[in-house]
Chains A and B, each alone.
Chain A
Amino acid sequence: MIRGDSDAVAGGKVDDKSVELFLGRLLRWGVLLAALVVFVGGVWFVVESYDVPQNYRAFRGEPAELRAVPQIVHQAIAFQPLGLIQFGLLLLIATPVARVLFSVLGFAMERDWMYVVITLLVLGLLVYTLTSRSGI
C-alpha cells in the first residue's frame, strides 16, 4: 500500500519533471531566438543611423506600425530594422505566454480540470492584452 503510493507519487513527479524540463528548454530557445532577432535588427538599426543624435527626453510614443502585432509582423517581413527589433521583442513576450499554454496541456494530461480552468483564465487575459484593439 505504502509502497504503491510512493511509486505513484514518484511516477507523477517524473512526469511533472519531464514536462518542466521540456518547458525550460523551450523557454531558453525562445529567449535566444528573440535575442538573435533583436540583435540582427539592432546592428542594422545602428549601422543605418549611427550618427543620428538620440533623444528620449521627450515622450512622443511609437508610430502605429510599431504598436500592433499585425503591423509589426508586416514591418519585420519588409526587413525594416526597427520592425525587426520589435518583432524580436514580440517573440520574447510570447515566451511566458507559451509557458502558460503548455501548462494548460500539462494540467489536462494530469486530468486536473480545476487547474486547466485557472490556467485558461490566465492565458485568456494574456492573449486579450496582446490582441485587444483598444489598448485598454
Chain B
Amino acid sequence: MNTLEFTLVVALGSFLAGMLGSLTGLGGGVVIVPLLTLVFGVDIRYAIGASLVSVIATSSGAAAAYLREGYSNMRVGMFLEIATTVGAVSGAFLAGYLHTSIIAIVFGLVLLYSAYTTTQTLADPLPGMAPDRIATILRLDGTYPTSEGLKSYHVRNVPTGFGLMYVAGVLSGLLGIGSGAVKVLAMDQAMKIPFKVSTTTSNFMIGVTAAASAGIYLRRGYIDPGLAMPVMLGVLAGALVGAKILPGAKVRTLRMVFGVVIAALAIEMIFQGVRGKL
C-alpha cells in the first residue's frame, strides 16, 4: 500500500474502533493495537505508540461532557493517579525489555478480560456502609447527583484499590491502552464507588496515565507521526460521532457484538504471539 491508501484505510479502521469504543464504553484503544498488528502488519511497538496517543485524545475529548454531569471525584482520581502514573512508567520501562511475543500474549489476555467484562452488568454498592478510616483521612468520600438529589457514598478498601490501579498503570504503559476495565474493577468492585462516579473518574485518569507513558514512548522513538496521525484523527472523530448517536443506540447488543470481536482478536493475538509472529 502507498502512503495515501494506507493513511485512508487506517483512518477508517480507527474511526470504527473509536465509534464502537465510545458507544460501548470500552474505549477505542483496546482494538487499535490488534487492528494495526493483525490486519495491517504493523510492528507492535509502533502500534502501541499510536494507540497511546489515541487514548489521550478520547479521554481529553470526552472530559467536557463528563465534567458537566458532576459525577467525577477529583480527589479519588488524583490520589489513585499516583499509582497509575508510577505503574505506567514501570510498564513503559518493561516494554523496552520484554520480547514482543510476550507483549502480544499479555495483550491477548487483557483483551480476553475486557471481552468478559462486556457480559457483566455492574451494580451500585448497597448504601449505608460505615466510613473507612483511610478514606476519611484522605477525604475520598463524596456525593453525586441522582434523581432524588445529591447522594453521598463512602470509599472502601483504599490499599486494594491503590494496588489494582498500579496494575492498571503497568498494563497501560506496557500495552498502550487505557486499561479502563481494570480501573473500573478497582473502583467498583474493590473501593465500592458508585458506577457513574467510577466510569467518569476513570475517563479522567486514563488520559493522565497514558500521558505518563507517552513521554517515554516518544523518547524511545515508538511514536511514528505517519502512523499516529490517521489513528489519532480516526479514533477522535469516531468517538465524537459515537457520543452523538449514543442516546438512540442499542448499547446492550453493541456491547455483546464488540465483546465477541474483542474475544476473537484476543485469541488471534495470543496465537500469533505464541507462534512468535508479532
Chain A interface (Cβ < 8 Å from any Cβ of B) = 13, 16-17, 20-21, 23-25, 27-28, 30-31, 34-35, 38-39, 41-42, 45-46, 49-54, 56-59, 61-63, 66-68, 82-83, 85-86, 89-90, 92-93, 95-97, 99-100, 103, 106, 112, 114-115, 118-119, 121-122, 125-126, 129-132, 135-136
Interface code B230-268, partner A: CB below 8 Å = 1, 0 otherwise? 101100100000000000000000000000000000000
* A68 / chain B contacts, CB cutoff of 8 Å: 218-219
Judge whether B41 and A56 touch: CB under 8 Å: yes
Interface size on B, residues (CB 8 A): 66
Instruction: Tell me whether chain A's interface is mostly helix, strand or loop, or mixed.
Output: helix
The smallest beta-carbon distance between B150 and chain A, in angstroms, is 8
Give Cα distance in the complex from A58 to B100, angstroms: 12
**Is B89's CB under 8 angstroms from A125's CB?**
yes
Residue in A28, A41, A46, A56 whose beta carbon sits within 8 Å of that of B46 in the complex: A56
- The answer to whether A51 and B3 have CB atoms under 8 Å apart is yes
**Interface 0/1 of B73-95, CB less than 8 Å to A:** 01100110110011001001100
Verify B3–A52 contact, CB threshold 8 A: yes
For window 1-56 of B, CB contacts with A under 8 Å fall at 1-4, 6-7, 36, 40-43, 45-46, 53, 56
| Bound form: Cα–Cα A125–B227 in Å | 27
A85 to B3, CA, bound (A): 15
- Closest 5 pairs (CB-CB, A-B): A135-B219, A61-B221, A24-B64, A129-B215, A62-B221
In the complex, are the beta carbons of B7 and A99 less than 8 A apart? no
B→A interface (CB under 8 Å): 1-4, 6-7, 36, 40-43, 45-46, 53, 56-57, 59-61, 63-68, 70, 72, 74-75, 78-79, 81-82, 85-86, 89, 92-93, 138-139, 204, 207-208, 210-216, 218-230, 232-233, 236
Q: How far is the CB of A111 from chain B (nearest CB, A)?
A: 13
Q: What residue in chain A is nearest B84 (Cβ atoms)?
A: A122
| Inter-subunit contact B204/A62 (CB<8 Å) | no
Known A56-B224, A59-B46, A67-B220; 16 more pairs at CB < 8 Å: A23-B67, A25-B64, A38-B232, A45-B3, A50-B4, A51-B4, A83-B225, A89-B225, A95-B56, A95-B207, A96-B210, A126-B211, A129-B89, A135-B219, A136-B92, A136-B93
